[in-house]
Amino acid sequence: MKSDLLTLEGELDEISALINSHLGADALYPRISALGEPYTDIVEMSRNLLQGRTSQRKYQYISIIIALYGAMEQYVESMLLSYLRFLPKVCGRFDNIPEAIRLKHHDLSVEYMTAIKMKRVHEPEDVNVIVRRLAMCRGRAMRYELNSRAFTLRTANMSFDRMTTLAANMGISVTPRRLINSQSYQAFYLKRNGSEAPTVGDLEAKSVFLFVDDLVTRRNRIAHGVNSIDDIEDHSLLLDRVDHLRMYGGALHEVFEDQVIRLSAEKSRLQNLGVPQHKFRGNIVCFHLENGAIEVGDVVVMLPTDANFPARRGNAISLRVGTASHDRVVGGPDCHFGVKLPYNPSPTASYAILPSEIVGGLDL
């Protein structure tokens, strides 16, 4: 799923570069106009370009809004699809798939085939393939494939509420509170305000993401040809939109990654370390390890007791048993060890080690 986020960030980087190039041109025109002799031809050309600046600015604004919306829409759909395609690796049998998905898979697949028949699907799949997948998805089946695209089918733009509805169909609760508790939002707020984000209520949390629906509204006005000169935003506001979408993408990624990690814990796919026996300065926590093993570099996840806070994860930096350092610690009845983590560990959270197949699937 990390690859989806990297794709979004790459697209946002390109859009930022485009906005900055427009900003550079705006700064250049007045300087050219002030050149005077012997640059008469260049000055005259610059003046002609300036006369058409309103049309240029309108075109720039329209193209950037469309590009931003397109990047956001594609990212959300890609994230949903990646999650669904990864589920069999975590859950194994079909009847271990989250209940919300099992209950909706048949009906949404039928709706998907109906939409294909009515030619409302871009690049439709073969209906026979969809039917075959449906037949495979039953009971204790180990070999199956979900009709993932059926879960992204929609008749409206990717508003915030539309995104939460699509996620809810998969059993994922994407609330504003979960998003503002993400590291992406916390870092975004700190960079802009120079202080940590305060605790806010549900309404205030939801207001943070009004920019998503505002972008959808602006995109719709453009699509219907009703945008006016008053809609045009200057370059600084457009760059601000890029920053907000970058934060939104990162926060969504954290929520979906948290869902996979918690589901893996629920399905006993993680090596459980439990609650720490002690916490020491320097991000060190101590555990009793009766079975299994841990190595330097293993991905250790922290699962807060409050599901509104996403899981934290990072590679084990160092291991100690007593006063001795180790690259690998093997469990046993009397095995107690300390691990140094790259994040601030909570003494009340639960911890676990991610297996390699989960690490690979999440592109960690």
Task: Look up the CATH number of the domain holding residue 306.
Answer: 2.40.30.10
Torsion angles phi and psi, residue 287, rounded to 5 = -135, 160
Distances (CA, A) of 190 to 69, 200, 236: 25, 15, 19
- Confidence band (pLDDT; 50, 70, 90) for 1? confident
Kindly tell me if the per-residue pLDDT of 360 is higher than 80.
Answer: no
Instruction: Identify whether residues 226 and 339 lie together within a single domain.
Output: no
Same domain, 96 and 183: yes
- Quickly state the pLDDT bin for 158 (edges 50, 70, 90): very high
Could you tell me if 251 and 283 lie in one domain?
no
pLDDT tens column, 15-46:
999 998 887 666 555 554 555 555 556 556 55
Tens digits of per-residue pLDDT, 59-94?
A: 888 899 999 999 999 999 999 999 999 898 889 999
pLDDT number for residue 145:
93
Same domain, 344 and 236: no
**Residue 249: other Cβ atoms inside 10 A:** 24
Same domain as 191, residue 97: yes
Give the residue-averaged pLDDT of 341-356: 93
The closest alpha carbon to 205, from 171, 239, 182, 237, belongs to 182
Q: Which domain holds residue 287?
A: 271-361
- Show Cβ contacts of residue 179 under 8 Å, excluding neighbours closer than 6 positions: 185, 205, 208, 209, 248, 251, 252, 255
Residue in 175, 182, 233 with CA at minimum distance from that of residue 206: 175
Q: Are 316 and 297 in contact (CB under 8 A)?
A: yes
- Other C-beta atoms within 10 Å of 157: how many? 16
Q: How far does CA 220 lie from the centroid of its chain?
A: 24
Please provide the size of the chain in residues.
364
Q: Are residues 119 and 229 in the same domain?
A: yes
The reply to whether 230 and 285 lie within a common domain is no
- Whether residues 81 and 186 fall in one domain: yes
Domain boundary among 214, 244, 266: 266
Question: Tokens 């906005």 belong to which residue?
Answer: 19
Q: Which of 331, 334, 351 is nearest to 278 (CA)?
A: 351
Residue 347: CA count within 13 A, CB half-sphere:
5
Domain count, the chain: 2
Residues 284 and 322 in one domain: yes
- Residue 93 and residue 132 in one domain: yes
% of the chain surpassing 90 pLDDT: 69
Instruction: Assess whether 160 and 16 both reside in one domain.
Output: yes
Helix (H, G, I), strand (E, B) or coil at 288: strand
Q: Domain boundary at 242, 266, 290, which?
A: 266
Where is the domain boundary, 233, 266, 299? 266
Same domain as 202, residue 94? yes
